[in-house]
Amino acid sequence: MIWLYFRRIHDLREDQDIKQKAVAEYLGMDPTVYRRYEKGVRSVPVDVVIKLADYYKVSTDYLLGRTDDPTPPQKSK
């Protein structure tokens, strides 16, 4: 199921017409590192998964392939 993980960060980025370089800049990393995440060559650290979920406004479970519902959880007060 890990392939969903990489496919989803790739698809979310392309669906919004965002360049890999822009996502890498948001994450504060070299574009080559981010490209490796999308290709599944490198594991994505938890902190990066959280930042990507916030960036795309989806749940981490969606990015991880644990659900097909991208809706992020409601923040508690």
DSSP letter for each residue of 34-61: HHHHHHTSSPPPHHHHHHHHHHHT--HH
- What whole-number distance in Å separates Cα of residue 69 and Cα of residue 10? 17
Over residues 17-52, the pLDDT tens digits come to 999 999 999 999 999 999 999 998 888 999 999 999
Indicate the pTM of the whole model: 0.87
Mean pLDDT of the chain: 90
- Which of 48, 44, 8 shows the shortest CA–CA distance to 27? 48
pLDDT of residue 54: 95
Domains of the chain, CATH where assigned: 2-63 (1.10.260.40)
Q: Residue 57: CB partners within 8 Å, gap ≥ 6?
A: 72
Number of Cβ within a 10 Å radius of residue 26: 14
